């Protein structure tokens, strides 16, 4: 297979990104907002999640960049939001665009990333004041 044709699934990109964040002790959470199954149990669970506040288009990741003060202790965190897509293909939904606008207006750094490599590069831009493993 030609490496130019290599296009992992979004799930695989998410796993690779999460593993990198874990290896580098960077706090993060994946927002499980997918609901692709049409089974009865999935539909019941989906309806319950919606009543609990699940919202279409919320981005995939919250990444918390520790900011250390002069004394070396973590003083605060900077929040990054990441929407993961496949390296090739994958479209941003209208709802995801709305959430991206909300994040920007809230002063949250956010990016739609095509693959785990792009997501890792985005996070690394914010690690200048972080004394972690990276």
Residues with Cβ within 8 Å of 58's Cβ and at least 6 positions away in sequence, in order, are 31, 33, 99
Tally of helices (H runs) and strands (E runs) in the chain: 4, 4
Q: Is residue 102 part of a domain?
A: yes
- Tell me the residue range of the domain where 54 lies: 8-124
Q: Is residue 130 part of a domain?
A: no
Q: Is residue 57 part of a domain?
A: yes
Instruction: Give me the pLDDT at residue 133, please.
Output: 45
Instruction: Give me the pLDDT at residue 47, please.
Output: 82
Q: Is residue 75 part of a domain?
A: yes
Domain count, the chain: 1
Q: Is residue 3 part of a domain?
A: no
Q: Is residue 129 part of a domain?
A: no
| Closest CA relative to residue 75, chosen from 129, 27, 133, 123 | 129
Look up the CATH number of the domain holding residue 64.
3.40.1350.10
Q: Is residue 65 part of a domain?
A: yes
Strands (E), the chain: 28-30, 61-68, 74-85, 109-114
Instruction: Give me the pLDDT at residue 25, please.
Output: 93
Q: Is residue 60 part of a domain?
A: yes
**Backbone φ and ψ of 74, nearest 5°:** -70, 120
Low-confidence residues in the chain, pLDDT < 70:
1-4, 34-38, 129-134
Instruction: Give me the pLDDT at residue 76, please.
Output: 92
Instruction: Give me the pLDDT at residue 68, please.
Output: 84
């Amino acid at each position: 297979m030609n490496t130019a044709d290599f296009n992992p699934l979004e799930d695989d990109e998410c796993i690779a990104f999460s593993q990198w964040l874990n290896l580098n002790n960077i706090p993060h959470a994946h927002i499980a907002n997918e609901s692709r199954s049409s089974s009865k149990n999935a539909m019941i669970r989906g309806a319950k999640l919606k009543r609990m506040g699940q919202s279409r288009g919320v981005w995939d990741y919250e990444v918390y960049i520790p900011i250390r003060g002069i004394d070396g202790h973590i003083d605060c965190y900077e929040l990054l939001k990441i929407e993961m897509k496949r390296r090739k293909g994958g479209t941003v939904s209208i709802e995801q665009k709305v959430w991206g606008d909300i994040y920007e207006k809230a002063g949250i750094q956010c990016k739609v990333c095509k693959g785990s490599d792009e997501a890792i590069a985005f996070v690394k831009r914010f690690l200048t004041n972080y004394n972690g493993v990276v």
